[in-house]
Structure 1
Amino acid sequence: MTAVPDFDELLNNAQHTAYHLEMRDGYMLDGSYAAWKANGQLDPRNQWPWWYDLVSSAVSRGVAVHRARIISEPISSYIRFEHEVTGPLNVKAGEKVRWLPRRLATDIALPGNDFWLFDNTTLLINHFAGNGDMTGKEIVTDPAVAELCASAFDKVWERATPHEEYQPD
């Protein structure tokens, strides 16, 4: 198994694209989510300034950073949280984000795990426990696997609704 570089290193080395496919309805239920759930307020730029700086730097170098989320509807509380922070954090940093209701993804061949695909060659596969906690990561450079993931991402991206237009119920 290949050693897993830091995410920052992978994004900083990307030259053209960084595509992220998320397929879960809940992730690590950290303090940010708990604070949002308790009072409905969160300033994402203050909460995650490193993310904003990292993504905006990549975008300014010409890297297309795209995130597609496959979600169940009605959406979970966690997805509502993600939706609310996406505009002020991800979109403002330069990410393009789209949302695809799970019912519209039935005929798309999807990989079993969330991933980041850098320059269509290097995959960072994220592994999660049932409760959303991250259990591990791996790097995959097999061209056939990269092609499968690129194809899945492209199909999801084509069907998904841009963040600015997606209105959760």
Structure 2
Amino acid sequence: MSQNGVPDFAELLRSAERSAYHLEMRDLYSVGEEEAAFGEFTRDGRADLDPDSPFWLGWTPLVRETVARGVRMRRARIVSEPVTDYIRWEHALTEVNIAVGEEVRWLPRRLASDLALPGNDLWLIDSRRVMFHWFTGDGDWAGHEFSVDPDVVRMVATAFESVWERAVDHEKFGV
């Protein structure tokens, strides 16, 4: 367990027994470790689609390990249209997420107006635990919050399922 009772993310994902669901609601992330790869995409349209490349080594082995244990991994993204350059990049990269076992859907923000949504991106693990991610206004990491409160978990699970039900499979969502 890391500081403030928030588990290390890899530890949290490795503890999943049935499901790990990720809800993303921002149009731009500016996380430091992505800066060079995103810059390359904006300059020449290239995205690293090799799941075994150094860019992906912090993620793809963890997903493969999780999925191999029978855990269902779903990722839902709520996005504004027209999409930002960052979302175009994420869309290109999603090929790797799917290749290693994630299911991914996209929901245009205009179709989410009547949904009750949490205020932050999150991971929902086994419909029992939630890790919220906080970001600065310009999209860099700002912290995390962990909850096992049944009311919070229920709200998050309901929100995620509402988004998932309306969202479009990655293969059908054009950017």
Q: Which residue of 100, 111, 117 maps to 2:124? A: 117
Mapped pair 1:107 → 2:114: yes
Q: Tell me which amino acid in the other structure corresponds to 1:81.
A: W
Q: Tell me which amino acid in the other structure corresponds to 1:19.
A: Y
Q: Which residue of 137, 155, 164 maps to 2:162? A: 155
Q: Tell me which amino acid in the other structure corresponds to 1:17.
A: S
Taking the aligned partners of 1:23 and 1:42, their CA distance within structure 2 comes to 21
Q: Tell me which amino acid in the other structure corresponds to 1:147.
A: R
The structural deviation recorded for 1:18 is 0.4
Matches within 5 A, 1:31-46: 31-44=36-49, 45=51, 46=53
Matches within 5 A, 1:12-31: 12-29=14-31, 30-31=35-36
Taking the aligned partners of 2:68 and 2:84, their CA distance within structure 1 comes to 33
The structural deviation recorded for 1:122 is 0.8
Q: Is residue 20–residue 126 contact of structure 2 (8 Å, CA) maintained in 1? A: yes
CA shift digits 1:41-73 (9 cap, x unpaired): 122421212311110111111000000000000
Q: Which residue of 61, 65, 68 maps to 1:57? A: 65
Identity fraction in percent? 49
How does the TM-score come out when normalised to structure 2?
0.92
The structural deviation recorded for 1:2 is 4.5
Q: Which runs of 5+ in 1 are unaligned?
A: none
DSSP 3-state at the match of 1:70: strand
Matched pairs, number: 167
Q: Quote the RMSD (CA, aligned, Å).
A: 1.2
- Runs of 4+ with >2 A deviation: none
Q: Is residue 47–residue 89 contact of structure 2 (8 Å, CA) maintained in 1? A: no
How does the TM-score come out when normalised to structure 1?
0.95
The equivalent of 1:165 in structure 2 is 172
The equivalent of 1:70 in structure 2 is 78
The equivalent of 1:144 in structure 2 is 151
Taking the aligned partners of 1:65 and 1:3, their CA distance within structure 2 comes to 24
